[in-house]
């Protein structure tokens, strides 16, 4: 552990922090984007910096910077303590932190093919291949992107923890826009994870890109989706949005402490059908939201949130575990060295069931099958659900019928989960980034099986 961090920890102690930590980050990224078979951008990015935080009587003070001078981090530590003391004077309820990490450990994520061992030319060629593969009839715009990130962290705290770790992520994506007259439709598909170049190496980019293009073309012929309460078979992506946006955000214990979650008093109560089991698990190998440690140095964890329809509990940071007298679950995360740590998800998903996807469809007389998600939005207070899909299909008499355009799904989350009557054995996780409110983005994944339930749908 470097002298730099030790200086900060000593300064925190000396300035009167009840608890404090310092986290230093070194983040590199390589990004390639192409459009219409031309390279648009080749960017190399490096961000280095550190954040110090101090806990005093229930309040936190944060100070961060990019200087490599040990005097500056010591000054920042004192500033963090001063900010925490100023906030504490405003009447923050006092809480005692518990289970502060005191580990001394290093975990270096290993990948099969180090991205740094692959030339820039090869990565650029892959993006161009993906772009070219989308060029078929009716296509007005082809787009492809590749990004790799390699993040290294060092953390030290006043309880003696000295941990360091590495996170590597890759993402490759294609987006096609098809046009016919004035009408334009877009299709988007991606692959990602905490993996190395093996992700791209294992893909058939021609098939992948061709599939995205075909999807966009088919959406030109799609019908307007139905409106109102419908039987919906959610695909794994949309199931994941239900897990993440509604049950996941509302299970973040800082929302529970504030009673800003509709799940505040629900532990031990029925929140879904017996077919519904849900986890947040930061240890899933290769998943986009997996982390060795959270931003507080707590090892990642697998937390059962819902067990066969019964609500089991919350996701915790150090602070919420102190406030609610629970164990930290490794969910204290931060966007970067300059942002606060608070409770965030990792990989959040519903567990697989026992039925085949085809069985769900065959037993649906009149319904909708969703196809790929675009976005979702949380509502921890009201328990509402909004998910936007890329497209979908009508289901008629047990068969998948005409394609419908992108639609939005909404409703009360508990009503939706209690209506779940079939769950498939297929399970998939999709990566992405998650904001809390409208900021503080961290890498996560969400997913689940195909699930049949009742949801209000509508689309333009």
Partner 1 sequence: MDLLDLAPDAVRRARSDGAEAAEAFAISFTTRSIYIEDDVPKVGEDRQEGGLGVRVARGKRVAFASTTLASSEDVRASVASAIDSLGQVPEDPDFSGFPTETAKGEVAGAWDAATASTDVSGLLEAAKAFTDAAKASKSTSVPKAVFRIQDYAIRVANSNDVVASHRGTLVLCYLTAKCGSKGKFGEGILKALNTSIRGIDFPELGRTAARRAAENLKAKTFKGSRAGVAVLDPLDLGEIFLQSVGSSANGENVHKKRSAWVGKIGAEIASVGVTIRDRPRMPRGLASCVADDEGMVTRDRTLVEAGILKGYVADHHHAPLLSTPAGNGFRRAVATVEGSYTRPAETHVSNLVVEPGRKGLDSLLAEVDRGVYVEKFASPEVNEFSGSFALEVRNATLIEKGELTDHVKFGLLTGNFYDGLRKVVGIGKDLVPSHGFLSTPGCAYVPPMAFGGFELVGQK
Q: Which of residues 395-434 bind partner 1 (CB under 8 A)?
A: 405-408, 410-412
Neighbours of 207 (CB within 10 A): 9
- Residues 227-246 interacting with partner 1 (rule: CB under 8 A): 227-229
Provide, rounded to whole angstroms, the least separation between the CB of residue 31 and partner 1.
9
Tokens 């787009």 belong to residue: 143
| CA distances from residue 60 to 17, 55, 73, 81, 160 in whole angstroms, order as listed | 9, 5, 17, 8, 19
Q: What is the DSSP letter of 36?
A: T
Q: Does 18 bind partner 1 (CB under 8 A)?
A: no
- As a whole number of angstroms, the distance between CA 391 and CA 432 comes to 19
Q: Does 68 bind partner 1 (CB under 8 A)?
A: yes
Q: Which stretch binds partner 1 (CB under 8 A): 108-116, 156-164, 181-189, 394-402?
A: 181-189
Q: Does 257 bind partner 1 (CB under 8 A)?
A: yes
Provide, rounded to whole angstroms, the least separation between the CB of residue 299 and partner 1.
24
Could you tell me the end-to-end alpha-carbon distance of the chain, in angstroms, rounded to an integer? 56
Provide, rounded to whole angstroms, the least separation between the CB of residue 290 and partner 1.
23
- As a whole number of angstroms, the distance between CA 324 and CA 254 comes to 10
3-class secondary structure, 55: strand
- Residues 188-207 interacting with partner 1 (rule: CB under 8 A): none
- H-assigned helices in 34-173: 70-89, 120-133
> Smaller CB distance to partner 1: residue 54 or 351?
54
| CA distances from residue 150 to 2, 4, 46, 238, 327 in whole angstroms, order as listed | 20, 22, 10, 29, 30
- As a whole number of angstroms, the distance between CA 47 and CA 428 comes to 32
Provide, rounded to whole angstroms, the least separation between the CB of residue 71 and partner 1.
13
Which residue from 10, 108, 183, 425 is in contact with partner 1, where contact means CB under 8 A?
Answer: 183
> Smaller CB distance to partner 1: residue 100 or 250?
250
What are 187's strand-pairing partners? Answer: 176
State the DSSP string of 254-306: HHHHTT-STTTT-TTSB-S-TT--EEEETT-TT-TT--SB-TTSPBP-EEEEE
Which residue from 154, 185, 296, 430 is in contact with partner 1, where contact means CB under 8 A?
Answer: 185
Provide, rounded to whole angstroms, the least separation between the CB of residue 8 and partner 1.
15
> Smaller CB distance to partner 1: residue 93 or 285?
93
For residue 313 the two structure tokens come to: 């509990």
Provide, rounded to whole angstroms, the least separation between the CB of residue 211 and partner 1.
19
Q: Does 181 bind partner 1 (CB under 8 A)?
A: no
> Smaller CB distance to partner 1: residue 108 or 269?
269
- Residues 91-150 interacting with partner 1 (rule: CB under 8 A): 91-93, 119-121, 124, 128, 140-141, 143
- Residues 310-349 interacting with partner 1 (rule: CB under 8 A): 338-340
Burial class (CB in 10 A: 0-12, 13-18, 19+), 228: exposed
Which residue from 9, 11, 63, 395 is in contact with partner 1, where contact means CB under 8 A?
Answer: 63
State the DSSP string of 3-41: HHHHHHHHHHHHHT-SEEEEEEEEEEEEEEEEETTEEEE
- As a whole number of angstroms, the distance between CA 402 and CA 420 comes to 24
- As a whole number of angstroms, the distance between CA 358 and CA 408 comes to 24
Beta strands 342-343; 162-180: pairing state: unpaired
Q: What is the DSSP letter of 455?
A: E
Write each residue from 160 to 179 as x if it is in contact with partner 1 (CB under 8 A), else as -, in one continuous string: -----------------x-x
Which residue from 39, 99, 113, 310 is in contact with partner 1, where contact means CB under 8 A?
Answer: 39
Provide, rounded to whole angstroms, the least separation between the CB of residue 259 and partner 1.
7
> Smaller CB distance to partner 1: residue 81 or 155?
81
Which residue from 299, 432, 447, 459 is in contact with partner 1, where contact means CB under 8 A?
Answer: 459
Please check whether residue 253 is in contact with residue 320, taking contact to mean a CB–CB distance below 8 angstroms.
Answer: yes
> Smaller CB distance to partner 1: residue 46 or 397?
46
- Residues 371-390 interacting with partner 1 (rule: CB under 8 A): 374-377, 379, 381-382, 384-386, 388
For residue 14 the two structure tokens come to: 């000396």
Provide, rounded to whole angstroms, the least separation between the CB of residue 111 and partner 1.
21
How many Cα atoms within 13 Å fall on the side-chain side of residue 73? 26
Q: Does 59 bind partner 1 (CB under 8 A)?
A: yes
Provide, rounded to whole angstroms, the least separation between the CB of residue 280 and partner 1.
21
Among residues 351, 266, 353, 274, which one has the least CA distance to residue 309? Answer: 274
Write each residue from 264 to 303 as x if it is in contact with partner 1 (CB under 8 A), else as -, in one continuous string: xx--------------------------------------
Q: Which stretch binds partner 1 (CB under 8 A): 6-14, 234-242, 249-257, 303-311?
A: 249-257
Q: Which stretch binds partner 1 (CB under 8 A): 14-22, 223-231, 236-244, 302-310?
A: 223-231
């Amino acid at each position: 552990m470097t002298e730099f961090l030790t200086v900060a920890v000593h300064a925190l102690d000396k300035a009167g922090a009840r608890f404090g930590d310092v986290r230093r980050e070194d983040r590199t990224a390589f990004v390639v984007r192409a459009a219409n078979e031309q390279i648009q951008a080749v960017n190399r990015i490096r961000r280095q910096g550190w954040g110090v935080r101090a806990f005093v009587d229930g309040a936190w003070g944060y100070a961060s910077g990019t200087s490599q001078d040990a005097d500056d981090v010591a000054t920042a530590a004192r500033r963090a303590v001063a900010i925490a003391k100023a906030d504490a004077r405003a009447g923050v309820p006092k809480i005692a932190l518990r289970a502060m990490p005191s580990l001394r450990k290093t975990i270096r994520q290993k990948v099969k093919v180090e991205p740094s061992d692959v030339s820039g030319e090869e990565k650029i060629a892959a993006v161009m291949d993906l772009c070219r593969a989308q060029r078929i009839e009716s296509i007005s715009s082809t787009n492809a992107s590749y990004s790799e990130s390699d993040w290294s962290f060092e953390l030290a705290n006043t309880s003696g923890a000295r941990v360091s770790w590495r996170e590597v992520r890759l993402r490759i994506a294609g987006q096609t826009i098809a046009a016919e007259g004035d009408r334009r439709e877009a299709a988007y598909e991606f692959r990602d994870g905490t993996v190395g170049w093996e992700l791209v190496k294992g893909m058939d980019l021609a098939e992948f890109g061709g599939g995205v293009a075909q999807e966009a073309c088919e959406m030109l012929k799609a019908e307007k989706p139905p409106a109102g309460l419908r039987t919906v078979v959610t695909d794994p992506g949309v199931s994941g949005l239900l897990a993440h946006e509604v049950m996941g955000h509302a299970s973040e214990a800082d929302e529970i402490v504030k009673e800003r979650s509709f799940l505040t008093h629900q532990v031990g109560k029925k929140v879904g059908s017996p077919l519904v089991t849900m986890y947040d698990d930061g240890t899933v190998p290769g998943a986009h939201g997996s982390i060795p440690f959270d931003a507080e140095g707590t090892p990642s964890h697998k937390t059962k949130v819902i067990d066969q329809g019964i609500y089991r509990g919350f996701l915790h940071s150090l602070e919420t575990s102190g406030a609610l007298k629970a164990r930290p679950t490794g969910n204290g995360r931060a966007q970067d060295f300059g942002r606060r740590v608070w409770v965030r998800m990792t990989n959040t998903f519903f567990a697989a069931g026992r039925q085949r996807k085809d069985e769900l469809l065959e037993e649906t007389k009149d319904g909708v099958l969703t196809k790929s998600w675009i976005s979702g939005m949380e509502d921890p207070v009201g328990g509402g659900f909004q998910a936007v899909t890329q497209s979908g299909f009508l289901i008629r008499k047990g068969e998948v019928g005409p394609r419908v355009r992108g639609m939005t799904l909404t409703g009360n989350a508990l009503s939706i989960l209690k209506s779940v009557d079939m769950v498939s054995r297929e399970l998939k996780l999709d990566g992405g980034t998650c904001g809390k409110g409208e900021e503080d983005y961290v890498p996560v994944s969400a997913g689940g099986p195909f699930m049949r339930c009742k949801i209000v749908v509508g689309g333009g």
